[in-house]
Amino acid sequence: MILKILILIALAIIIGLFKNYYIIIGSVIVITLYLILKKYKYTLILIIIFGISILTSALVSEITKIQLLPIPPLVEEKEKIYSIYRDKPDGEYYRFNNKNPNDLKQIDETRNKEVFSEKNSDGSWKVGKGTTRIDISTKRAGILTQKEMMKQIETWNFSKLDKKRYWLYPNDWKNIEFTVIFKMLDAEQRDQAISVVSRSIIHDSKGEEEIKEYPNAYCGGSSYHNNISEDGKLQMKKEQYHADYVIDKPNEKINLGNLYNKKIGFKAIVYNFNNNSKVKMESFVDTKNEGNGPYIKVHEKIDDGKWGINSGKAKMDECGAITKGAIISWGSPKIILKTNNLNFDMYDMEVREIIPP
């Protein structure tokens, strides 16, 4: 009996050190069946001892970080991306799948051959030149087609959306911290930028054939844009509908210098505050530590319902808003990483729902 106990404990320790659930589960099943079939007198005692040994050894393994063989876990383990704000409990989440960027769960860019066209030797993925639009969806929305989305949208009216707070589902991306770690390469034109587009759902212009069954669908392009250019300039844009913009000039106080061929991290943060009466956009960068952090705030913008009023460009009322400068207070099932004629390599990307400060 003592010998059997020692053998089981030794086996449990080895299994625990592997930290591999397949091995642990398989071994437990095999040993349990063996003991039961043999009808040993102390089967239950031996099983309990074996279980306690596995838990103990796994705990010791986790604390000491000892692992006998580099066997991959069931889920890919990644280092956490440096964060600014706290996670929303049970909030939507996305993390870049470096093994398969087009995971067909939250991203599907298989039709756009320039996106994730090739994996580089340093682990990054090539995103070729062209009009790149990478859609990152919530888990609930998944990779819905535009037609499927339009069928589910209950209203295109901004006043109704302001009360509803989302395009499709209550858990649409709204208060978010978006991080992308990338390297800008060559561009066909000067002053090209990477833009994080939030809170929109469809980008078709008024009268386009594609939305003829939904004539007000052009209002689905209402969005906020956090931009960072290849020459180190930061800029904010408000797209009132597609395609009509209110654009701020680049922040003259901040110039990060030429960012070509430099691995950096960029954060676009957007959240409601003051009882959902205002929206704050923030841009953070890490240009010194390849996106590992810390990140420094380099630009911010508050939309208090007056953006574009003084210039006479505000016209949110064209899509049913009560005021011309109305804020975009509602969430969307997708966020868009947008570039025009810019070639870049992507290392990592993350979207988190946050608790506004």
* Beta-carbon contacts of residue 156 (< 8 Å; ≥ 6 apart): 214, 216, 217, 219, 220, 319, 320
Q: What is the pLDDT of residue 40?
A: 56
| Of 334, 338, 164, 138, the residue nearest 237 (C-alpha) | 338
From the list 351, 266, 267, 354, the residue with the least C-alpha distance to 93 is 351
| pLDDT confidence of residue 70 | 44
The pLDDT score that the predictor gives to residue 69 is 42
Instruction: Name the residue among 205, 196, 277 with its Cα closest to residue 240.
Output: 205
> 286-304: per-residue pLDDT in tens?
999 999 999 999 999 999 9
Q: Which distant-in-sequence residues (6+ apart) come within 8 Å of 1 by Cβ?
A: 42
Say what the pTM is. Answer: 0.80
The reported pLDDT for the residue numbered 53 is 64
Of the CATH numbers 2.60.120.560, 3.40.50.2300, 3.40.50.1820, 3.30.200.20, which one belongs to the domain with range 93-353? Answer: 2.60.120.560
Cα–Cα distance measured from residue 127 to residue 110, given in angstroms and rounded to the nearest whole number = 12
Which residue in 122, 103, 76, 84 sits closest to 346, CA to CA?
122
What confidence score (pLDDT) does residue 57 get? 63
- Inter-residue contact 228 to 191 (CB < 8 Å): no
Burial of 274 (0-12, 13-18, 19+ CB in 10 A): exposed
Q: Which one, of 191, 145, 175, lies nearest residue 339 by Cα?
A: 191
Closest CA to 27 of 39, 16, 38: 16
Domain chopping of the chain, boundaries? 2-64, 93-353
Task: Report DSSP state, residue 242.
Answer: T
Which residues of the chain carry a pLDDT beneath 70?
1-47, 49-51, 53-55, 57-77
pLDDT for the residue numbered 266: 98
pLDDT tens-digit readout, 204-241: 999 999 999 999 999 999 999 999 999 999 999 999 99
User: What pLDDT sits at residue 62?
Assistant: 58
Sequence-ordered alpha helix ranges (H) in 225-343: none
Whose CA is closest to 177, among 122, 238, 111, 226?
A: 226
Count of beta carbons in the 10 Å neighbourhood of residue 174: 27
Question: In the prediction, which pLDDT does 35 show?
Answer: 61
Please report, as a single letter, which amino acid is at residue 232: G
